[in-house]
């Protein structure tokens, strides 16, 4: 029995082998040549596209909407801050005006009290001197004026004298402290009196 010489060889016209082995014409070679099937998952271009699609950030419209939202929020904060500052400034101005008004009213009241007291004091002194001088009103008024004006003049002179004396003492103490510091730093002061010479003549 002879072996068929065409056994195991694919026919040239692509028809199935009568022994049962069907080989398609133009089938993929075992070396992995490119065919008509879907691209492999190990393709670097496909992997790069998938990675780019998964790691891409928000779109331009989303970024613009987010920026506009933050700008509106910042504007609300700015308006709130300006409102708080304006209210605080208004409260401070109102408090200052209230304090100034109270101080003005108090000053006028105190001035009125002082003037009224001065008028009553002058009137009482005048009436008392008038009774003392035999109910002579003009003499009482004259005596009261001289007494009050003289007292004010004497009080003012005493106050000024005391003030000048105190200022003079303060200046003298200040200059003495400066002289002591000068002596401590240089050993002498230019205004100090030179010690007398043993022969009786003062040193220059």
pLDDT tens string 65-115: 888 888 888 888 888 889 888 999 999 999 999 999 999 999 999 999 888
User: Where do the domains of the chain lie?
Assistant: 67-186
Looking up tokens 């199935």, which residue turns up? 16
> Looking at residue 98, what is its pLDDT?
94
pLDDT at 129 over 80: yes
Q: pLDDT tens digit string along 13-62?
A: 444 444 444 444 444 444 444 444 444 455 655 655 555 555 566 788 88
Looking up tokens 């003005």, which residue turns up? 104
pTM (predicted TM-score): 0.40
Distance CA 77, CA 72 (A): 9
Q: What is the 3-state secondary structure (H, E, C) of 112-128?
A: HHHHHHHHHHHHHHHHH
Give the three-class secondary structure for 196. Answer: strand
Distance CA 66, CA 60 (A): 10
């Amino acid at each position: 029995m002879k072996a068929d010489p065409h056994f195991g060889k694919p026919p040239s016209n692509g028809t199935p082998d009568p022994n049962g082995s069907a080989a398609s014409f133009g089938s993929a070679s075992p070396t992995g040549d490119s065919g008509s099937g879907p691209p492999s998952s190990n393709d670097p271009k496909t992997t790069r596209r998938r990675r780019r699609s998964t790691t891409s950030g928000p779109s331009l419209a989303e970024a613009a909407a987010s920026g506009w939202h933050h700008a509106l929020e910042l504007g609300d904060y700015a308006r709130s801050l300006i409102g708080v500052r304006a209210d605080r400034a208004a409260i401070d101005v109102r408090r200052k005006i209230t304090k100034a008004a109270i101080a003005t009213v108090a000053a006028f009241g105190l001035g009125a009290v002082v003037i009224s007291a001065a008028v009553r004091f002058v009137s009482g002194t005048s009436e008392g001197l008038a009774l003392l001088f035999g109910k002579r009103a003009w003499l009482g008024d004259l005596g009261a004026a001289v007494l009050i004006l003289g007292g004010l003049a004497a009080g003012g002179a005493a106050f000024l004298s005391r003030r000048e004396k105190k200022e003079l003492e303060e200046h003298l103490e200040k200059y003495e402290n400066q002289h002591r510091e000068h002596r401590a730093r240089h050993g002498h002061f230019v205004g100090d009196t030179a010690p007398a010479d043993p022969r009786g003549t003062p040193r220059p």
